[in-house]
């Protein structure tokens, strides 16, 4: 089934029919659903609430300023600059520069959707049997929400029931308590989840993936040291690999089509549908209007987000993922084939200099971008994110499924654990090579060695900002630049491969925080890129509790480092 139908209209209609048959003329407010107005034990009602629990994960991910933006806008690959003559900037500038506070627009949606989703799962679990697949699904979604909250905020309220007294205020728990809860829940439900793959629903291997992510980042979440949790993460992904139920898709882009239900690589997906569950707005957020014509898209894009130029420079010229992920250079009108299908005519990303401006009626995305805000970016500046399939007409990316966990990620986690544990390192290199093979024509170009993965990053870190005004004015006298490089990043080669494979997949923020430099700082804080400067501060590793949540619950204590 392509989508999970979570339409509350049916619930309201059913209630109206039920109550309409009564002879009692006492008015019943149908816009307020309580235990007194509905039978929460009715299987149909529980089914609707389960559907809403699934819907909240979609909203969390693709709601405006949602999970995608939260994990991409603050990183070294993707940004949304102020567009001269267009807009943007505002809340995206502090995300890029790591200057956010508890009013940051990206944190309220995550907090709200996660807790609404948790509320629906708890409501279901209050009436569902204590065993069986349905309760396991709800406990999985609850644990997934808490994993996301832990990753973003650390210390958050832990709620496991909706049966509370009037005036109850949720109490904050430590990061360790949230971590332990997630681990215990996921281990408890593995058997009930089963091993069958059903698109959009969790199974045992989805639970393995959440556990692997928790263990992989344990030392970050709990300020831990040592290798014990890398061993645990290895066990989880080995179970997935040894099961033999998943494999790499033949083509990299098979995982980013509108319908990915047939990809053998997808472990857990969020199904979307352009009519009934439409969310993914990247086609409009990233493209220029004329650039959309290269894909046959007839909507009106907003010209916002683009690539950080230094990241584009990090790609191997033979890596097909560069063109798969980013539109750069000259764009041409899509070709309509005899059968009505559309062949995109986006230009291959190519190096760009100021002398290459075509201007006269030709759309040419430049790799170079002036700045995030001073003066900002001109209309054609920046390569555009096109990894998610852009459908023709007015469909764009709005109905595209999300590959929340995929098999390549399991292989990368195994490789990282082996490298951190300093054993079977050639196995680790072989795993990364295997993932890379589909993106290179020559096997030699796909091959990664142990030394490369354990060596420094090829990313040319440092502040890079043109403060000169004028789209053709790249005044070297107004070029703000520092040179930091990536040679001092531990496992920097692996960090590079993670970026090339998983850019735009809610991955990068977590990876930059986990990987460290030789001076002990993590890359997220310790490196500069584009208009973001390095710092010794560590509270940027997590976000502040939103102001609205603090105002609503006086028992909450703000996270350290934030006022």
Q: How far apart are CA 542 and CA 538, in angstroms?
A: 8
Residue-level pLDDT at 59? 96
Burial of 460 from C-beta contacts in 10 A (0-12 / 13-18 / 19+): middle
Q: Where are the alpha helices (DSSP H) in 156-227?
A: 175-193, 204-216, 218-221
Calculate the alpha carbon distances from 257 to 118, 200, 254, 406, 510 in Å.
Answer: 29, 15, 6, 14, 24
Burial of 387 from C-beta contacts in 10 A (0-12 / 13-18 / 19+): buried
Cis peptide before 375 (omega within 30 of 0): yes
Give Cβ neighbours of residue 410 (< 8 Å, ≥ 6 apart).
208, 209, 212, 237, 240, 241, 246, 267
Residue-level pLDDT at 15? 31
Residue-level pLDDT at 10? 35
pLDDT tens per residue across span 450-467: 999 999 999 999 999 999
Q: Are 123 and 86 in contact (CB under 8 A)?
A: no
CA 420 to chain centre: 24
pLDDT tens per residue across span 188-206: 999 999 999 999 999 999 9
| H/E stretch holding 133 | helix 133-153
pLDDT at 339 over 50: yes
* For range 164-174, the mean pLDDT: 92
| H/E stretch holding 270 | strand 266-270
pLDDT tens per residue across span 209-266: 999 999 999 999 999 999 999 999 999 999 999 999 999 999 999 999 999 999 999 9
pLDDT band at 36 (very low <50, low <70, confident <90, very high): low
Output the CA angle 237-242-244, nearest 5 degrees.
110
Strands, DSSP E only, in 368-447? 384-385, 402-406
Q: How far apart are CA 495 and CA 486, in angstroms?
A: 10
Q: How far apart are CA 144 and CA 546, in angstroms?
A: 20
> Can you give the pTM of this predicted structure?
0.90
Q: How far apart are CA 213 and CA 445, in angstroms?
A: 29
pLDDT tens per residue across span 97-114: 999 999 999 999 999 999
Helix, strand, coil percentages (3-state) for the chain, rounded to 5, are 45, 10, 45
Residue-level pLDDT at 42? 75
* For range 74-90, the mean pLDDT: 95
pLDDT at 373 over 50: yes
Residue-level pLDDT at 11? 35
Residue-level pLDDT at 33? 52
Residue-level pLDDT at 103? 93
pLDDT at 439 over 70: yes
3-state secondary structure labels for all residues of 431-471? HHHHHHHHHCCCHHHHCCCHHHHHCCECCCCEEEEECCCCC
Q: How far apart are CA 7 and CA 507, in angstroms?
A: 30
User: Does the CA dihedral 185-190-192-194 come out positive or negative?
Assistant: positive
* For range 500-522, the mean pLDDT: 98
What is the domain partition of the chain in residue ranges?
1-66+106-193+534-563
pLDDT band at 342 (very low <50, low <70, confident <90, very high): confident
CB-CB neighbours of 329 under 10 Å: 21
Q: Are 250 and 438 in contact (CB under 8 A)?
A: yes
Residue-level pLDDT at 330? 84
Residue-level pLDDT at 470? 94
Residue-level pLDDT at 146? 98
Q: If DSSP codes are grouped into helix, strand and coil, which group holds residue 406? A: strand
Q: How far apart are CA 87 and CA 28, in angstroms?
A: 47
Give Cβ neighbours of residue 55 (< 8 Å, ≥ 6 apart).
4, 6, 277
- 276 — alpha (psi -120 to 50), left (phi > 0) or beta? alpha
pLDDT band at 35 (very low <50, low <70, confident <90, very high): low
Please state the φ and ψ torsions of residue 495, each to the nearest 5 degrees: -60, -40
User: Does the CA dihedral 539-545-546-548 come out positive or negative?
Assistant: negative
pLDDT at 397 over 50: yes
Q: How far apart are CA 279 and CA 282, in angstroms?
A: 9
* For range 166-185, the mean pLDDT: 96
Of 506, 507, 528, 508, the C-alpha closest to 517 is: 528
Q: If DSSP codes are grouped into helix, strand and coil, which group holds residue 263? A: coil
Pairing label, strands 306-307, 78-79: antiparallel
pLDDT at 506 over 80: yes
Residue-level pLDDT at 332? 79
Residue-level pLDDT at 97? 98
Burial of 76 from C-beta contacts in 10 A (0-12 / 13-18 / 19+): buried
Residue-level pLDDT at 37? 55
Give Cβ neighbours of residue 555 (< 8 Å, ≥ 6 apart).
169, 170, 171, 172
Of 128, 130, 102, the C-alpha closest to 45 is: 128
pLDDT tens per residue across span 535-562: 999 999 999 999 999 999 999 999 999 9
pLDDT tens per residue across span 269-328: 999 999 999 999 999 999 998 888 889 899 999 999 999 999 999 999 999 999 999 999
Residue-level pLDDT at 34? 56
Q: How far apart are CA 83 and CA 91, in angstroms?
A: 13
User: What does the mean pLDDT of the chain come to?
Assistant: 90
For the ranges 27-31, 46-50, 148-152, 423-427, the lowest mean pLDDT is seen at: 27-31
Domain 1-66+106-193+534-563 belongs to what topology? Answer: 1.25.40
DSSP state of 355: G
Of 475, 425, 473, the C-alpha closest to 452 is: 425
Q: How many residues does the chain have?
A: 563
pLDDT band at 350 (very low <50, low <70, confident <90, very high): very low
Q: How far apart are CA 400 and CA 308, in angstroms?
A: 24
* For range 514-522, the mean pLDDT: 98
Q: How far apart are CA 233 and CA 239, in angstroms?
A: 10
């Amino acid at each position: 089934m392509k989508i999970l139908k979570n339409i509350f209209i049916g619930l309201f209609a059913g209630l109206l029919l039920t109550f309409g048959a009564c002879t009692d003329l006492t008015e019943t407010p149908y816009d307020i659903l309580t235990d007194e107005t509905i039978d929460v034990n009715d299987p149909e009602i529980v089914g609707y609430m389960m559907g809403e629990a699934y819907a909240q994960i979609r909203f969390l991910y693709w709601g405006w300023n949602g999970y995608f933006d939260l994990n991409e806008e603050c990183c070294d690959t993707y940004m949304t600059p102020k567009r001269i003559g267009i807009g943007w900037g505002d809340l995206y500038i502090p995300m890029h520069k790591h200057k956010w506070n508890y009013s940051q627009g990206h944190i309220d949606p995550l907090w709200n959707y996660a807790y609404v989703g948790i509320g629906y799962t708890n409501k279901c679990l209050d009436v569902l049997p204590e065993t069986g697949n349905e309760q396991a699904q709800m406990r999985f979604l609850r644990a997934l929400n808490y994993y996301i909250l832990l990753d973003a905020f650390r210390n958050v309220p832990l709620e496991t029931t909706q049966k509370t007294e009037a005036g109850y205020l949720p109490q904050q728990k430590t990061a360790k308590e949230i971590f332990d809860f997630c681990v215990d829940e996921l281990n408890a439900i593995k058997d009930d989840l089963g091993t069958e793959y059903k698109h959009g629903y969790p199974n045992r291997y989805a639970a393995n993936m959440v556990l692997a992510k928790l263990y992989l980042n344990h030392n970050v979440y709990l300020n831990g040291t040592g290798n014990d949790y890398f061993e645990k993460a290895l066990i989880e992904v080995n179970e997935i690999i040894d099961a033999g139920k998943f494999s790499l898709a033949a083509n990299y882009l098979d995982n980013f089509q509108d319908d990915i239900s047939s990809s053998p690589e997808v472990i857990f997906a969020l199904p979307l549908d352009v009519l009934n569950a439409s969310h993914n707005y990247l086609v409009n957020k990233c493209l220029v209007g004329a650039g959309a014509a290269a894909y046959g898209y007839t909507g009106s894009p907003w010209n916002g987000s683009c690539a950080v130029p230094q990241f584009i420079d990090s790609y191997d010229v033979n890596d097909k993922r560069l063109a798969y992920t980013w539109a750069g250079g000259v764009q041409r009108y899509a070709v309509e084939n005899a059968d009505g299908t559309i062949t995109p005519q986006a230009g291959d990303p190519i190096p760009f200099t100021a002398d290459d401006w075509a201007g006269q009626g030709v759309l040419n995305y430049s790799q170079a971008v002036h700045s995030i805000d001073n003066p900002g970016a001109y209309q054609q500046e920046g390569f555009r994110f096109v990894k998610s399939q852009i459908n023709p007409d007015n469909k764009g990316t709005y109905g595209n499924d999300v590959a929340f966990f995929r098999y390549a990620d399991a292989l990368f986690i195994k490789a990282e654990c082996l490298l951190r544990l300093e054993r079977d390192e050639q196995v680790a290199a072989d795993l990364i090579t295997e993932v890379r093979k589909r993106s290179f024509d020559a096997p030699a170009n796909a091959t990664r060695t142990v030394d490369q993965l354990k060596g420094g990053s090829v990313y040319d870190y440092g502040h890079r900002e043109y403060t000169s005004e004028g789209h053709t004015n790249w005044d070297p006298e107004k070029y703000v630049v520092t040179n930091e490089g990536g040679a001092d990043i531990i496992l920097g080669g692996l960090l590079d491969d993670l970026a090339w494979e998983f850019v735009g997949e809610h991955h990068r923020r977590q990876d930059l925080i986990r990987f460290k430099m030789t001076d002990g700082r993590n890359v997220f804080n310790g490196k500069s890129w584009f208009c973001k400067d390095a710092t010794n501060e560590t509270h940027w590793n997590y976000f502040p509790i939103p102001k609205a949540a603090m105002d609503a619950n006086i028992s909450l204590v703000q996270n350290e480092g934030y006022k």
